[in-house]
Amino acid sequence: MRAYLILLTILILASAIPGFTQSKKISKEKQDIIDELEGKKDQYGSIAMKIWEHPELGYMEEESSKLLISQLEGAEFTVKKGVEGMPTAFVASFGSGEPVIGILAEFDALPGVSQAAVPVRQERDGVTAGHACGHHLFGTGAVAAAISVKNWLKKSGTSGTIRLYGTPAEEGGSGKVYMARGGLFDDTDAVMYWHAGSENSVRANSNLAIVSVKYRFHGISTHAAGAPFLGRSALDGVEAMNDMVNMMREHVTPETRIHYVISHGGEAPNVVPAFAEVYYFVRHPDMREVKSVLERINNAAKGAALGTETTMDFEITGGSFNLLPNETLAKVMHANLEIVGGVNYTDEEREFAIELMKSFRSEERRPEEASVVEPLDTSPQARNSSTDSGDVSWVTPLGTMSAATWPPGTPGHSWQAVAAGGNSMSIKGMMVAAKTLALSAVDLFNNPSELEKAKAELEKRRGANFKYVPLIGDRDPALDYMKK
């Protein structure tokens, strides 16, 4: 640990030296892109903060979607709105012909994480949701990158198409899966995206496939004291199902993750519930194992209904594949992240970070780590997270990165992430991502051979005779999955 801290200190001190993170020679066209984006930092920061101020849940991101679309339409993109039956989804394109480079943009918030932009716990009055996963930055940074690439295409006269995918409901709604099922990525040569986080890194590894299901039990309501024998409790069905699934945990593979909440348990203790609902997530590094475990959970639900003399139906609200890594794209993106460099805090931002870090276990972390670019990660270990970007990675080469929008060690889906996302440090991280994505797109336009290598890697990883069949089946988007 001491050796690590010494090395880290050297890297941090070195990163403070002007030009250190840009040790590689930068072409004029790349420097112009970096300068252009830096000059628009306040503009894009204002857009991100508007989305942060007004967090919208999955498939309800009306204002967020409109705001991003307006930026793209103002920058000469042709925008198709409401694609694949999702009112807030869109596809924005500029240019013509090949290659076609795509960039993903998310903008949905999470429920139950209201937080002001302060480093201590403080909910916002009248606001129940929050951008605890940084999608206000994700969407805005992706739009900034796409517009920058569009400007470069016009200026350079390079042929090809830059495309921005506005993808709603990543948090459990599987917006990108409907896009993939509809063939919207089939003509792309490569797609890239980034995510808010607490470090600057590029990874070429996998994560967990996931399926989300709502099980709804229906019984007979009656007076719980006066005539309980006439009733059949839907909540009994939910609890019996949960008991069986919890016993099943001993008999699934160690990598399997099963979590649930009882989203509706009844109205009052003295009324036998006629309706109850439980909401499940199932995860595993292999999508085939997710399908297998889901079938067993479905059987538990059927058995619970039979045993409690209730009826049951279920709805798959979302599902996505594990990420298929692409080292070819990762290397391109990492080289450009090293050119761009990390995030350097002002004194005020550093004080904010120190105070925020006191609220979670961060004894071995320092705010200055935000300035460091991590080594390229190509380890085979799957990350314990899920994203609907996984499906995209099985139909087209996909590259991903993270930027330090939060202080080192900040957990995602937390009030701390919401707080940091409302601070100026998050805009700096967002611009690191925008610059890296834009520079990487330029490299791919200029070097078609990298695209061919990325496609060959995709073919090898997914295997011969692969046919994409999404976990969601043929259902329509669950537009009301976040509504109560």
Last residue of a domain, one of 267, 298, 319: 319
Using the predicted structure, report yes or no on whether residue 15 has a pLDDT greater than 50: no
Using the predicted structure, report yes or no on whether residue 10 has a pLDDT greater than 70: no
Residues 456 and 355 in one domain: yes
Taking alpha carbons only, the member of 205, 238, 413, 228 closest to residue 311 is 238
Residue 394 lies inside a defined structural domain of this protein: yes
Q: Which domain holds residue 286?
A: 209-319
Residues 168 and 215 in one domain: no
**Mean of the pLDDT values across residues 173-185?**
97
Taking alpha carbons only, the member of 211, 164, 173 closest to residue 85 is 173
pLDDT tens-digit series, residues 182-202: 999 999 999 999 999 999 999
**Mean of the pLDDT values across residues 20-31?**
72
What is the rounded CA–CA span in Å between residue 432 and residue 120?
Answer: 26
Full-prediction pTM beyond 0.85? Answer: yes
Other beta carbons within 10 Å of 372: 22
What pLDDT is recorded for position 483?
A: 84
In sequence order, the 6+-apart residues with CB closer than 8 A to the CB of 181 are 84, 391, 468, 470, 472
pLDDT tens-digit series, residues 79-128: 999 999 999 999 999 999 999 999 999 999 999 999 999 999 999 999 99
In sequence order, the 6+-apart residues with CB closer than 8 A to the CB of 218 are 234, 274, 275, 310, 311, 312, 313
Q: What percent of the chain has pLDDT over 70?
A: 95
Residues 127 and 20 in one domain: yes
What is the rounded CA–CA span in Å between residue 322 and residue 38?
Answer: 34
Residue 86 lies inside a defined structural domain of this protein: yes
Residues 261 and 173 in one domain: no
Residue 458 lies inside a defined structural domain of this protein: yes
Taking alpha carbons only, the member of 411, 376, 363 closest to residue 5 is 363
Residues 297 and 329 in one domain: no
Mean pLDDT (the chain, rounded): 94
Residue 469 lies inside a defined structural domain of this protein: no
Residues 161 and 254 in one domain: no
Residues 298 and 326 in one domain: no
Residues 164 and 247 in one domain: no
Q: Residue 334 — very low, low, confident or very high, per pLDDT cuts 50/70/90?
A: very high
Q: Residue 24 — very low, low, confident or very high, per pLDDT cuts 50/70/90?
A: low
Residues 345 and 274 in one domain: no
Residue 479 lies inside a defined structural domain of this protein: no
pLDDT tens-digit series, residues 30-86: 999 999 999 999 999 999 999 999 999 999 999 999 999 999 999 999 999 999 999
Q: What is the CATH number of the domain that holds 145?
A: 3.40.630.10
Q: What percent of the chain has pLDDT over 90?
A: 89
Residues 222 and 297 in one domain: yes
Residue 275 lies inside a defined structural domain of this protein: yes
pLDDT tens-digit series, residues 427-445: 999 999 999 999 999 999 9
What pLDDT is recorded for position 364?
A: 83
What pLDDT is recorded for position 384?
A: 83
